[in-house]
């Protein structure tokens, strides 16, 4: 059984300055070796040579094999090397991998290539075979290393998986881990996700129980697997003190629940409690009535893990995807493979744009003199549409070798593309998803409210005069700023005020509806910022809600910091007015000043979901602890906080982000 504490200690002792040293030393040599190779399988050859050349280290404490040798970069080394890369942010078809093994996947592709009888299909299969056979050799070398160390279960598993089907609970987890690690660390990208983990692992869980394993044993084994995911990037953060690896600060996402949670769904939650590390983020798709015991377990775990979990209203997203025209088997199989971005499991590849909505809003305001909020909204919607259409046109553009290169490895494990012997490049996946993120929703909504009141209703300022006040960044108008700040704003359950933020969100969703897309492209609008509420702020001028140029805008689906003054119930009533059935992803951070019981969290979240709310990510913020961590970081190396859709180690955040966490409204 895995020694969980030793595995955890290794993570905290890891060096955030280290790179995957073997990868970085070998790839430049392979780039030279294949410099004159212009074949479609060039990168498969490079990958196979790389995997044949790296070592297969197994530590005495390892329970699952698969780790990368790390050292600080050599002098003059530019790490990470980009010869191999991927877009990442996707979920593989691990169910098929476990049932058929890579050999079965390859056999299906070979049969399909014979049916197609095209040169491109033949070359695709040739490249796939190079990759598959190199993984087989890599796993066999790992099996030999494990055997030398007397790790018989590990050695047996690696002599079989991932090339052949998994045969039990342990071998299934080992198979998934090895492919996940190779994709993240050697191919190289962030945010590969484990997809609908509880569904494809459930048969192996049932088998293990039949064979005499206890549930507690399986929970401990699974906790060891979950801790393993933290090895990919250690404690590096995604936007500060970058680790020189291709998967810098990769977030590992694991999805459970939905309309058919099973007994293993609750086991995953219990294992996550035992692991209690920043990775992976456990995303629960919650349909409360589907399994009442599972729902209770969700909130028991939520009360313990808090910032390391996401809970989504399954029905809201499901209905939204059906409304987009997706078939039931795909619409019910959605996941989240990066932050709070929607994914269609292994049925798709995806792209995303953080739309600079506040910038476009200000551009709209300065285009002409308007006579009403409705007139501004129409122009704003059109400017949003133009911006997003330009992005969509680039995504839908013609295929090119670089796009194929980006998916040379991933295409084997996205079964809907693999079965047609095609790279998952633009236009080739049966469902291509584009996530469009609306930034600063509440800032824009509060701005509409202030404009309507001061200019169009009370007529205290002409439109031109108010624009001049903005252009001067409220200089000489501090009393006006104070007055605006004291107005009722979004987040206080005032429908007459909330309507403006809702209108801004509906304009965004409408602009997405207006896009001209190819038949297999689907655009999903969401309210989500990541850290753009801060990092984009410097290019956003003063806004009508009293915000100075350069100040942060509202985060995710939340009100402007400090604007919500009437408590958690009023906040959630306001948020539930968002058009989530048109904007079915994105995120909400709820912060509490103290820990709450599972029963209290359940009452809060389920009440919100009953009103039509979409998502909840919860943090218990002890301001005194966070302030002490800023002053004495050496005492708090394991302290995590929720950022936008994931956890980070607080002491590894930049100062501005630590302050942003402290500035969040914390409810009792």
Q: Is the pLDDT of residue 70 over 90?
A: yes
pLDDT given for residue 452 in this prediction: 98
Q: How confident is the model at residue 478 (pLDDT cuts 50, 70, 90)?
A: very high
The mean pLDDT of the chain is 95
Q: Is the pLDDT of residue 427 over 70?
A: no
Q: Tell me phi and psi for residue 525, to 5 degrees.
A: -85, 140
What is the C-alpha to C-alpha distance for residues 532 and 529, in angstroms, rounded to an integer? 5
Q: How confident is the model at residue 623 (pLDDT cuts 50, 70, 90)?
A: confident
pLDDT given for residue 306 in this prediction: 92
- Angle at alpha carbon of residue 91, lines to 87 and 95, rounded to 5°: 145
Exposure b/e, 239-267, CB count within 10 A at least 16 = b: beeebbbbbbbbbbbbbbbbeebbebbbb
Which residue has tokens 């293993």? 264
Q: Which two tokens stand for residue 592?
A: 């509490």
Predicted confidence (pLDDT) per residue in 227-239, tens digit? 999 999 888 877 7
pLDDT given for residue 416 in this prediction: 78
Residue 16, in any domain of the structure: no
Q: Where are the alpha helices (DSSP H) in 91-212?
A: 94-116, 119-148, 152-158, 169-181, 197-210
pLDDT given for residue 348 in this prediction: 86
Q: Which two tokens stand for residue 335?
A: 């996941």
**Between 563 and 429, residue with greater pLDDT:** 563
Q: Which two tokens stand for residue 324?
A: 């987009």
Angstrom CA distances, 618 to 150, 237, 595, 605, 607, stand at 44, 20, 10, 10, 15
What is the C-alpha to C-alpha distance for residues 640 and 230, in angstroms, rounded to an integer? 13
Which residue has tokens 């219990």? 270
- Angle at alpha carbon of residue 604, lines to 598 and 605, rounded to 5°: 90
Q: How confident is the model at residue 31 (pLDDT cuts 50, 70, 90)?
A: very high
> For 277-378, where are the E strands, in sequence order?
281-286, 309-313, 335-338, 341-343, 348-355
Angstrom CA distances, 396 to 275, 321, 390, stand at 41, 20, 10
What is the C-alpha to C-alpha distance for residues 64 and 175, in angstroms, rounded to an integer? 10
Q: Do the beta carbons of residue 647 and residue 281 sit within 8 Å?
A: yes
Judging by DSSP bridges, how do beta strands 521-527 and 589-592 pair with one another? unpaired
**Chain-centre distance of CA 546, in angstroms?**
32
Residue 298, in any domain of the structure: no
| Number of neighbouring beta carbons within 10 Å of residue 219 | 20
- How many domains does one find in the chain? 1
Residue-number span of the structural domain to which 378 is assigned: 349-587
Residue 418, in any domain of the structure: yes
Q: Which helix (H) or strand (E) holds 398?
A: none
CA-nearest of 603, 614, 638 to 302 is 603
What is the C-alpha to C-alpha distance for residues 117 and 110, in angstroms, rounded to an integer? 10
Q: Which helix (H) or strand (E) holds 527?
A: strand 521-527
Q: Which helix (H) or strand (E) holds 405?
A: helix 401-406
Predicted confidence (pLDDT) per residue in 285-330, tens digit? 999 999 999 999 999 999 999 999 999 999 999 999 999 999 999 9
Predicted confidence (pLDDT) per residue in 123-154, tens digit? 999 999 999 999 999 999 999 999 999 999 99
Q: Which two tokens stand for residue 70?
A: 């790390």
What is the C-alpha to C-alpha distance for residues 417 and 236, in angstroms, rounded to an integer? 33
Q: Do the beta carbons of residue 299 and residue 599 sit within 8 Å?
A: yes
Q: Do the beta carbons of residue 544 and residue 468 sit within 8 Å?
A: no
Predicted confidence (pLDDT) per residue in 375-393, tens digit? 999 999 999 999 999 999 9
pTM metric for this prediction? 0.96
Q: Do the beta carbons of residue 260 and residue 290 sit within 8 Å?
A: yes
Residue 448, in any domain of the structure: yes
pLDDT given for residue 426 in this prediction: 56
Residue 592, in any domain of the structure: no
Residue 652, in any domain of the structure: no
Which residues, including other chains, have CB under 8 Å from residue 610's CB and lie 6 or more apart? none
State the distance between the two ends of the chain, measured CA to CA, in whole angstroms: 41
CA-nearest of 433, 577, 449 to 512 is 433
Whether the upstream peptide bond of residue 174 has omega within 30° of 0, thus cis, is: no
Q: Do the beta carbons of residue 57 and residue 67 sit within 8 Å?
A: yes
Predicted confidence (pLDDT) per residue in 35-52, tens digit? 999 999 999 999 999 999
Instruction: Mean pLDDT check: name the lowest of 19-23, 78-82, 622-626.
Output: 622-626
What is the C-alpha to C-alpha distance for residues 439 and 536, in angstroms, rounded to an integer? 9
pLDDT given for residue 428 in this prediction: 75
Residue 336, in any domain of the structure: no
pLDDT given for residue 403 in this prediction: 77
Residue 609, in any domain of the structure: no
pLDDT given for residue 224 in this prediction: 98
Q: Is the pLDDT of residue 494 over 70?
A: yes
- Angle at alpha carbon of residue 247, lines to 314 and 357, rounded to 5°: 55
Q: How many residues are recorded in the chain? A: 668
pLDDT given for residue 644 in this prediction: 81
Half-sphere exposure of 340 (CA within 13 A, CB side): 38
pLDDT given for residue 242 in this prediction: 82
| Number of neighbouring beta carbons within 10 Å of residue 24 | 20
What is the C-alpha to C-alpha distance for residues 389 and 372, in angstroms, rounded to an integer? 26
Which residues, including other chains, have CB under 8 Å from residue 15's CB and lie 6 or more apart? 70, 72, 234
The DSSP call for residue 226 is: H
């Amino acid at each position: 059984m895995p020694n969980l504490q030793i595995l955890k200690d290794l993570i905290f002792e890891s060096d955030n300055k280290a790179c995957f040293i073997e990868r970085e030393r070998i790839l430049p040599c392979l780039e030279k070796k294949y410099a004159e190779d212009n074949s479609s399988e060039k990168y498969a050859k490079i990958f196979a040579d790389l995997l044949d050349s790296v070592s297969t280290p197994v530590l005495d404490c390892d329970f699952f094999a698969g780790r990368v040798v790390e050292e600080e970069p050599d002098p003059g080394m530019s790490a990470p090397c980009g010869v191999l890369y991927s877009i990442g942010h996707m979920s593989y078809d691990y169910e098929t991998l476990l049932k058929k093994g890579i050999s079965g996947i390859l056999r299906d592709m070979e049969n399909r290539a014979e049916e197609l009888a095209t040169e491109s299909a033949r070359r695709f299969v040739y490249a796939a075979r190079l990759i598959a056979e190199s993984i087989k050799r890599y796993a066999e070398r790992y099996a030999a290393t494990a055997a030398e160390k007397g790790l018989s279960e590990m050695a047996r598993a690696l002599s079989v998986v991932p090339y052949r089907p998994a045969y039990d609970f342990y071998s299934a987890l080992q198979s998934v881990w090895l492919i996940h690690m190779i994709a993240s660390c050697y191919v190289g990208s962030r945010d590969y996700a484990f997809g609908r983990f509880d569904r494809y692992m459930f048969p192996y869980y049932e088998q293990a129980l039949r064979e005499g394993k206890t549930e507690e044993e399986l929970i401990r084994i699974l906790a060891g697997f979950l801790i393993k995911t933290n090895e990919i990037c250690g404690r590096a953060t995604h936007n500060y003190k970058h680790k020189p690896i291709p998967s810098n600060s990769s977030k590992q996402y694991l999805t459970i629940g939905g309309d058919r949670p099973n007994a293993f769904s609750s086991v995953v939650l219990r294992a996550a409690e035992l692991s209690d590390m920043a990775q992976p983020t456990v995303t629960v798709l919650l349909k409360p009535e589907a399994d009442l015991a599972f729902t209770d377990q969700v909130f028991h775990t939520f009360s313990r893990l808090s910032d390391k979990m996401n809970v989504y209203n399954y029905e809201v997203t499901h209905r939204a995807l059906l409304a987009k025209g997706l078939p039931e088997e795909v619409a019910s199989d959605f996941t989240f493979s990066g932050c709070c971005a929607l994914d269609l499991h292994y049925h798709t590849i995806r792209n995303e744009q953080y739309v600079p909505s506040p910038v476009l809003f200000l551009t709209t305001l300065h285009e002409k003199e308007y006579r009403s909020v409705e007139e501004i909204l129409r122009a704003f919607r059109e400017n949003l549409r133009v911006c997003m259409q330009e992005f969509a046109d680039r995504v839908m553009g013609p295929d090119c070798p670089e796009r194929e290169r980006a998916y040379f490895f991933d295409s084997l494990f996205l079964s809907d593309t693999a079965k047609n012997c095609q790279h998952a490049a633009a236009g080739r996946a049966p469902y291509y998803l584009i996530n469009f993120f609306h930034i600063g929703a509440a800032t824009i909504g509060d701005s509409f409210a202030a404009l309507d009141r001061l200019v169009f209703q009370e007529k205290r300022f002409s439109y031109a005069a108010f624009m001049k006040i903005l252009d001067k960044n409220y200089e000489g108008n501090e009393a006006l700023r104070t007055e605006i700040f004291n107005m009722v704003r979004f987040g206080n359950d005032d429908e007459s005020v909330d309507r403006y933020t809702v209108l801004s969100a509906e304009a965004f969703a409408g602009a997405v509806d207006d896009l001209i897309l190819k038949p297999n492209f689907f655009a999903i609008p969401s309210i989500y910022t990541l850290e753009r509420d801060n990092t984009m702020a410097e290019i956003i001028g003063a806004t009508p809600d009293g915000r100075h140029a350069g100040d942060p805008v509202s985060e995710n689906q939340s009100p402007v910091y400090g604007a919500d003054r009437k408590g958690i119930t009023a906040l959630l009533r306001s948020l539930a007015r968002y058009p989530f059935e048109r904007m079915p992803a994105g995120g909400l951070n709820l912060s509490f000043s103290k820990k709450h019981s599972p029963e209290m969290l359940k009452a809060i979240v389920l009440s919100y979901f009953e009103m039509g709310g979409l998502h909840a990510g919860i943090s218990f913020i002890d301001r005194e602890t966070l302030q002490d961590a800023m002053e004495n970081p050496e005492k708090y190396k394991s302290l995590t906080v929720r950022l936008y859709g994931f956890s980070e180690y607080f002491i590894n955040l930049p100062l501005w982000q630590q302050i942003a966490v402290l500035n969040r409204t914390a409810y009792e």
